[in-house]
């Protein structure tokens, strides 16, 4: 059997996809291939210049593509709410945007930036779009995590990381939160009797702007896959009929096993409750299980 490629994506005509961080990295080919197969795509990004440039690039690659830019800053809860108000329909939500390996900074609300952007931003966005997702017949939420989640640790008494901050450990914590959220979303969606599918992905080591290579760039790029290859797990998770909820899709489309902490329902419930308190987004339609 031939390996899956984006050419195997089914006809997505009539489908609306929101892709966060679709202006660059793996988000751009993710948005492009969804548009190539007929989806209406919203390129959700913080920078209008980069977002509009991505829209133009997709239209050059896919003449006639139904694609538009939407202003979204995942580090600003008011921006997330404004963006969500502009989305009238959504079938596929690709929680792709992410930051990492940065000095300690804070979101507008005062949360540690990697956790606030990568997890809390996408938690709030998903919850705000949930009524529209549940109105879609075959809705999916794909959240990009990482194998770095295995080094993540959640201290609920120090979510701001005021007692110690490491760039990599903070990134791993945010990716652990992505996986905990993905699995808990699936549990709650299933318990509520909805058809929503929630899937996590790990793109693998990819040559994008996210990866700062420094003077070793020419050498290290030999060992990194392209952004198109990095987008494959997200595209497969979003469109393959073989996907079921709660899976973790990795490079070469292999199903990965999340860490023991990521599989903990107790930790996931606590993170969900804390995230709802911090963001004010309650997921009323699937609030209990």
The three-state (H, E, C) secondary structure of 112-180, written as one string: EHHHHHHHHHHHHHHHHHHHHHHHCCCCEEEEECCHHHHHCCCCCCCCCCCCCCCHHHHHHHHHHHHHH
Q: What does residue 206 show for φ and ψ, rounded to 5 degrees?
A: -130, 140
Regarding beta strands 197-201 and 140-144, do their DSSP bridges make them parallel or antiparallel, or are they unpaired?
parallel
Q: Are 174 and 114 in contact (CB under 8 A)?
A: yes
30 is a domain residue: yes
131 is a domain residue: yes
| Predicted pLDDT at 271 | 98
| Predicted pLDDT at 216 | 42
| Predicted pLDDT at 121 | 98
143 is a domain residue: yes
Which residues are bridge partners to 248 per DSSP? 200
Angle at 286 (CA atoms; ends 89, 112), nearest 5 degrees: 85
What is the distance of C-alpha 155 from the center of its chain? 23
CA distance 252 to 254: 6
Q: What is the pLDDT along the chain (289 residues), one digit of tens a residue?
A: 678 999 999 999 999 999 999 999 999 999 999 999 999 999 999 999 999 999 999 999 999 999 999 999 999 999 999 999 999 999 999 999 999 889 999 999 999 999 999 999 999 999 999 999 999 999 999 999 998 998 889 999 999 898 889 999 999 999 999 999 999 999 999 999 999 999 999 997 655 554 444 444 554 555 566 888 899 999 999 999 999 999 999 999 999 999 999 999 999 999 999 999 999 999 999 977 6
Domains identified in the chain, total number: 1
Active site residues: 171
3 is a domain residue: no
Q: Are 71 and 103 in contact (CB under 8 A)?
A: no
287 is a domain residue: no
CA distance 41 to 132: 15
1 is a domain residue: no
2 is a domain residue: no
Instruction: Identify the domain containing residue 165 by its residue range.
Output: 11-281
Q: What is the CATH number of the domain that holds 143?
A: 3.40.50.720
286 is a domain residue: no
């Amino acid at each position: 059997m031939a390996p899956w490629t984006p050419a195997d994506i089914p006809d997505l005509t009539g489908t609306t996809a929101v892709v966060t961080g679709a202006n660059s990295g793996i988000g751009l080919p993710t948005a492009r291939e969804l548009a190539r197969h007929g989806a209406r795509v919203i390129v959700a990004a913080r920078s209008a210049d980069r977002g509009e440039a991505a829209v133009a690039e997709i239209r050059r690659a896919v003449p006639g593509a139904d694609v538009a830019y939407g202003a979204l800053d995942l580090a600003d809860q008011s921006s997330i709410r404004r963006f969500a108000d502009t989305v009238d329909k959504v079938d596929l939500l690709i929680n792709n945007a992410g930051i990492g390996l940065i000095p300690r900074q804070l979101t507008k609300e005062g949360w540690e930036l990697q956790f606030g952007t990568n997890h809390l931003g996408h938690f709030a966005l998903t919850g705000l779009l949930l009524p529209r997702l549940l109105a879609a017949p075959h809705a999916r939420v794909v959240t990009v995590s990482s194998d770095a989640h295995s080094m993540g640790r959640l201290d609920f008494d120090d979510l701001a990381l005021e007692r110690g901050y490491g760039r990599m450990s903070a990134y791993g914590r945010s990716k652990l939160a992505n996986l905990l959220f993905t699995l808990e979303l699936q549990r709650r969606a299933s318990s509520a009797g909805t058809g929503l599918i929630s899937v996590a992905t790990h793109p693998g080591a990819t040559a994008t702007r996210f990866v700062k290579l420094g003077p070793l760039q020419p050498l290290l790029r030999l060992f990194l896959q392209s952004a198109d290859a990095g987008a494959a797990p997200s595209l497969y998770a979003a469109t393959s009929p073989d996907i079921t909820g709660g899976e973790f899709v990795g490079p070469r489309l292999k199903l990965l096993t999340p860490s023991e902490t990521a599989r903990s329902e107790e930790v996931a419930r606590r993170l969900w409750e804390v995230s709802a308190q911090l963001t004010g987004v309650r997921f009323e339609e699937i609030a209990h299980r």
